[in-house]
Amino acid sequence: MIRKKAAVAALAAATVVAAAGMASAAASGVFSPAQGSEAHSSPRGPKNVIFLLGDGMGTQEITAARYYQGVQNKLNVDRAKYTGFDTTWSVKPAAKAPYKPDYDPDSASTGSSWATGQKTLDERISQGPSSAIDVPGKNLKTVLEVAQKRGLKVGNVSTAEITDATPAVLASHISLRGCQGPADMTACAKETKAAGGLGSIAEQEVDHKVDVLLGGGRARFEQTITGGPYAGKTVVDQAKAKGIQYVTDADGLKSVKSGKPVLGLFNKSNMSVEWSGPAASLGKGNAPVACTENQRPSNEPSLADMTTKAIKLLENRKGFFLQVEGASIDKQDHATNACGQIGETVAFDKAIGVALDYQRSHPDTLVVVTADHGHTSQIVGEDNSGSGLPTGYSTNVTTKDGQTLTLTYGTSGFGGEGKAPVGTPPSQQHTGTVVPVWAQGPGAEAVLGTNDHTHLFKVLGG
């Protein structure tokens, strides 16, 4: 009993010390890479982990999708037992730690946060911070690499180019997120295979031999490699030479069998969006209309279908790690496309449903859902008029409840010198808000409270 009391006291003291350290870092406005990587992992480690990331899916984006579907109709994500919040800030360049915070991050730095448990610069893919964006940082171990070392199968699914920032953070290390294919390496010249580096993101993803790699970005993999043993061949050739199955449409994905890794690239660029609708305009916006659904071409699999297939291919005795990204929530938010944004969120939620259904029948599986950062859309009153009108771009859509849902976008749009925007809305910006985190399964309670995105590294098995 005495030893038990002493252990409890020691744990309480350690908790106070850790909290004080984090509070001190927050107060000073600086960050050292050693901070922020601890997490409250459950002693019951999950066999399988499914991590689902809605890019740009902040509280407003998920709420818009929830309201559009009907306020009495819950989303799949609402089935998760535990909910918390995460901060998402990145850091600014410096010669050495401590690094000052950047409050409004991009998808590369936030993705690197949960993938590695460390803060880094915007634009950077699973490399640590450095003195400048064009100075590569230290390569950081990722949760996917940890899973592979443990003998787990691993998968990576996205509706973006599979070389885009979020999927890239798991299986590549590079100083700039734009260096996606061999022909895109001008800004990363020191990191090419010809220069003795790891090569482009596409090359690295193939070299990692990820068991299931599904998404868009076929054009990146059709580029010609400039150095190393596969010089003169395309990245697709490289994949085939490594024994990876290669498919390019929904029917091809259906026919894939277990046993060999698979690379599925279903669009030259990002995959097609699910819904379309009216364009945003300044002030009050359009007369309300319903979104037009079912716009995805039949040759492109849905995110839910890719998730279902990925789980089937990854299932094995030792377990698996799978990341699934609903990427174009963010991209449609940037474009002030309300219906596109809502449709991608609904499609992402269907993938969440696939994961939670699997978890229900496989209780040794941990499902975690979050966003990488907040975004611009705001739900505002549809009956505003006169001086109460939004100052940004607005869109009005008719929900399944037969009511008007007004979304306004106001984080970009001025051309400098205080001039009001004209014509096509310019790309909107991210926001620095905390993002929700949902979880179900062994260790899910670790997401409770307000944490930082680096906390997820340990939660996910890092």
Amino acid 35: pLDDT = 44
**Active-site residue (options: 24, 32, 41, 107):** 107
Contacts by 13-19, CB closer than 8 A, 24 or more apart: none
- Amino acid identity of residue 404, one-letter, is T
Q: Is 361 a catalytic residue?
A: no
Alpha helices by DSSP H, listed for 70-197, are: 107-116, 143-149, 165-171
- For 376-403, write each residue's pLDDT tens digit: 999 999 998 888 899 889 999 999 999 9
Q: Which of 17-31, 168-182, 365-379, 388-402 has the lowest mean pLDDT?
A: 17-31
Looking at residues 143-150, what average pLDDT do you find?
98
Q: Is the peptide bond before 98 cis (omega within 30 degrees of 0)?
A: yes
Percent above pLDDT 70 for the chain: 88
The alpha carbon of residue 134 and the mean position of all alpha carbons in its chain are separated, in whole angstroms, by 24
Supply the DSSP symbol for 100. P
The band of 425, judged by pLDDT with boundaries at 50, 70 and 90, is: confident
Spatial distance between the Cα atoms of 237 and 239, rounded to a whole number of angstroms: 5
Contact 32, 407 (CB under 8 A): no
**Strands 48-54, 320-326: parallel, antiparallel or unpaired by DSSP?**
parallel
Give the CA distances from residue 86 to residues 23, 109, 285, 333, 410, in Å, rounded to whole numbers and listed in that order: 15, 14, 33, 20, 23
Q: Which of 75-89, 302-316, 404-418 has the lowest mean pLDDT?
A: 404-418
Contact 388, 444 (CB under 8 A): no
The band of 366, judged by pLDDT with boundaries at 50, 70 and 90, is: very high
Q: Which of 21-35, 49-63, 145-159, 376-390 has the lowest mean pLDDT?
A: 21-35
Does the pLDDT at position 98 exceed 70? yes
Domain 46-459 architecture: 3-Layer(aba) Sandwich (3.40)
